[in-house]
Amino acid sequence: MVKLVGHLGADREQIAAFAFEGDVLVVPAHVSTPHTLHALEDSVVHFLRSDDLLPKGRPAMGAGQLLDRILADLGRSRELSALLGRKSARERICGFLVEMEKRIGRRENGAVILDLPMSRREIGDHLGLTIETVSRQLTDLRERSAIATCGRSRIDILDPQGLRALAGSVD
């Protein structure tokens, strides 16, 4: 039996999964939470690189790329588990904003503009928080001038670096 551990720094750990005989465990790479594998008892583990899982000469958007994206999905899921298991409301909101910045942010003279297609409720349901807590955290960040808000769906990230620091990740 082995455990897959995500490291959040400062002795904070999130065990993403336990694996038993016969299980396949995907160790995420290229995520902001470093992961390591530890045996809890004598174990035999076979390692495969995801690169080696499928044929080399890849057709454009073939099975290989599909597998890559499935593994990316799994990586985000691990990241979410670490966030939900070990982070404060402040860190969750900042982590969420940082991820949204990476995925749908538009640069515009210094700031990064986010047009969020989801409501506060949906943000809360994603981060394991209530809408009130989401709202209060955004207010705090606004008062710290880390972000600015405009209407319901637009958030301008004024201090991306500060946000990353508040997100409490390692990277």
Partner DNA sequence: CGACATATTGATAGACCTCAAGAGAAGTGG
Partner DNA sequence: CCACTTCTCTTGAGGTCTATCAATATGTCG
Residues that bind DNA (CB under 7 A): 88-90, 119-121, 128-136, 138-139, 149, 151-153
Residues present in the chain in total: 171
In this complex, which beta carbon is closest to DNA, that of residue 111 or of residue 131?
A: 131
Q: Say which residue the tokens 């004598």 belong to.
A: 42
Residues 127-166 contacting a copy of itself, CB under 8 A? 127-128
Compute the Cα dihedral for 154, 159, 164, 168 and give only its sign: negative
Label residue 113 exposed, middle or buried (CB < 10 Å: 0-12, 13-18, 19+): middle
**Which one of the spans 47-55, 106-114, 144-152, 158-166 is the region binding a copy of itself (CB under 8 A)?**
47-55
Segment contacting a copy of itself by CB under 8 A, of 48-56, 106-114, 133-141, 161-169: 48-56
Distance of CA 51 to the CA centre of its chain: 22
User: What whole-number distance in Å separates Cα of residue 82 and Cα of residue 88?
Assistant: 11
Interface with a copy of itself (CB under 8 A): 1, 3, 5, 13-18, 20, 23-26, 40-41, 48, 53-54, 63, 66-67, 69-74, 76-78, 80-81, 84-86, 103-104, 117-118, 122, 125-128
